[in-house]
Structure 1
Amino acid sequence: MPEPKAVNSMFARIARRYDIANRLLSGGMDVWWRWRMVRRVARGQPTDILDLATGSGDVAFSISRNVASANQIVGMDFCQPMLDEAVKKQAADVRKRYGNIRFQQGDGLALPLPDDAFDAVTIAFGLRNMGDRHRSLSEMHRVLRKNGRVFVLEFSRPQSWFRPIYLFYLRHGLPWLAGLVTGDRAAYIYLNETIEAFPDRTALCAEFLAAGFSRVESAGWTFGVVALHTAVK
């Protein structure tokens, strides 16, 4: 499992160029993946939503724009420099669309939030970085209301013909490009290592069940490069 202090330090180093790196390294697909997840969130018409590992706030902003029922959105991350980037983006929005978002620092392994507080919890590309996945999933379960839903968007590993192409890019192309963009090649070697060490979709579904969730579902997108897992409390 990742070591929290090292992960925090790594994200602090790349925070200012995190968004541009995401767009470049994914060919812009990361925006579409997040939007697809948010569209799923909107179907349940949640009013109170927690976006965990919010980073620079992309999912929280998308929820604010696309989930009409959203009354309160809490964007939480344990890396303050990443949250600083989110707050800057919120303040820079001349249309002032994001008044229902509150950004807050917090640890995904011990959320500073009450029980039964949210209708939905989202987390995009953050579960891999948790030092204890079971504890993190259990915390998400705790803060959800009965029948609330969790949405976990995470990298996966293709099982089709695309797998060798993807792994070559992940192991060689991505760290090189990321080094040029962010100046921190090591951070994206870490990305590769955590993706390859992450459980497959079947194993991750079992972890949701072990944390107390039911009605667990998963769907692979873009040849299986990413997967959306959903579950109900």
Structure 2
Amino acid sequence: MASLQLHLLPLSTGPSSSRFRRSPVRSSTERQSLFNRIAPVYDNLNDLLSLGQHRIWKRMAVSWSGAKKGDRVLDLCCGSGDLAFLLSEKVGSSGKVIGLDFSKEQLSVASSRQKLMSKAFYTNIEWVEGDAIDLPFSDGHFDAITMGYGLRNVVDKHKAMQEMFRVSKAGSRVSILDFNNSTNPVIAFTQELMIDNVVVPVASGFGLAEDYKYLKSSIREFLTGKELEELALDVGFSNARYYEIGGSLMGNLVATR
């Protein structure tokens, strides 16, 4: 069975559409503060808690985005930059990658990683501080969009999806990776068991136990795969398909503009 990853937090705030709402998440200030605080240990914890498997899931998400040489692409909730770096390899030196997040500390870590890496095409990445429900880009600006472990905690998921639809080009794809809120009680139980007995104890070694206890409820309150497909179609995407991966502990929504 796949191990769990710990990406917790969102990008934005705002009133949620009642159709796609679960119970309220933490305030923007609290979430921003947490992401800034955990930034120095974020990557190490992700590797430890997922046994490195998050890197496989992220490659899958990038592949599903359809990004190719010369494309202009966006990674929302970019964190320390994992998906953005993978996208950079896909689009090459003739392409452009925007990594957007609301955490200055995470963006600082991402920028530092970019400077340490020797591959020339990583210079095609620009880091932008911004809000997922109010993207600072024009309509039809991107050839592909990814989002890793962010939508689950965005307060207004409908608005965030609308914004992704707005800034994507006709025929382009959006690929959204996150924990799977499974309707299978065995999978749901396994997730909660691993969070209680693996994630929280490990996080406690970094003084973050209370912060990561929130992970369990955030998954439970997230949309199911079917609901995510319905959300994408509701805002205008022509096609949406949800894939369960990582032993069904994770999921990836692929929506076509």
Measured in 1, the distance between the counterparts of 2:167 and 2:227 equals 23
Measured in 2, the distance between the counterparts of 1:14 and 1:166 equals 22
Matched, 1:18 2:35: no
Pairing partner for 2:248 from 214, 224, 227: 224
Matched, 1:164 2:189: yes
- Residue in 2 that maps onto 1:102: 126
Correspondences of 1:1-233 after superposition (within 5 Å): 1-2=24-25, 3-42=27-66, 47-68=71-92, 71-158=95-182, 159=184, 161-180=186-205, 182-233=206-257
Which secondary structure state, in structure 2, belongs to the residue aligned with residue 98 of structure 1?
helix
Deviation by residue 1:142-200 (Cα, 9 ceiling, x = unmatched): 111111211101101342744433321123421111121x3211221122221111111
Larger mean Cα displacement after TM superposition, 184-193 or 65-74:
65-74
Kept after mapping to 2: 8 A contact 1:47/1:69: no
CA RMSD of aligned residues (A): 1.8
How far residue 117 of structure 1 moved from its aligned partner, in angstroms, is 0.4
Q: Write the letter of the residue equivalent to 2:233.
A: L
Larger mean Cα displacement after TM superposition, 67-76 or 193-202:
67-76
Which secondary structure state, in structure 2, belongs to the residue aligned with residue 62 of structure 1?
helix
Deviation by residue 1:116-147 (Cα, 9 ceiling, x = unmatched): 10011100111112121011111111111111
Runs of 4+ in 1 over 3 A off after TM superposition: 42-46, 66-70, 160-163
Percent identity of the aligned residues? 31
Measured in 2, the distance between the counterparts of 1:150 and 1:95 equals 26
Number of aligned residues: 232
**Larger relative contact order, structure 1 or 2 (CA cutoff 8 Å, min sep 6):** 2
How far residue 63 of structure 1 moved from its aligned partner, in angstroms, is 1.2
Kept after mapping to 2: 8 A contact 1:42/1:67: no
Kept after mapping to 2: 8 A contact 1:57/1:86: yes
Measured in 1, the distance between the counterparts of 2:203 and 2:78 equals 21
Which secondary structure state, in structure 1, belongs to the residue aligned with residue 123 of structure 2?
coil
Kept after mapping to 2: 8 A contact 1:4/1:130: no
Kept after mapping to 1: 8 A contact 2:66/2:144: no
Measured in 2, the distance between the counterparts of 1:43 and 1:221 equals 20
Measured in 1, the distance between the counterparts of 2:161 and 2:187 equals 30
Measured in 2, the distance between the counterparts of 1:94 and 1:146 equals 34
Larger mean Cα displacement after TM superposition, 110-119 or 37-46:
37-46
Larger mean Cα displacement after TM superposition, 71-80 or 190-199:
190-199
Measured in 2, the distance between the counterparts of 1:218 and 1:5 equals 31
Q: Write the letter of the residue equivalent to 1:53.
A: C
**Change beyond 3 A, Cα 1:5–1:209:** same
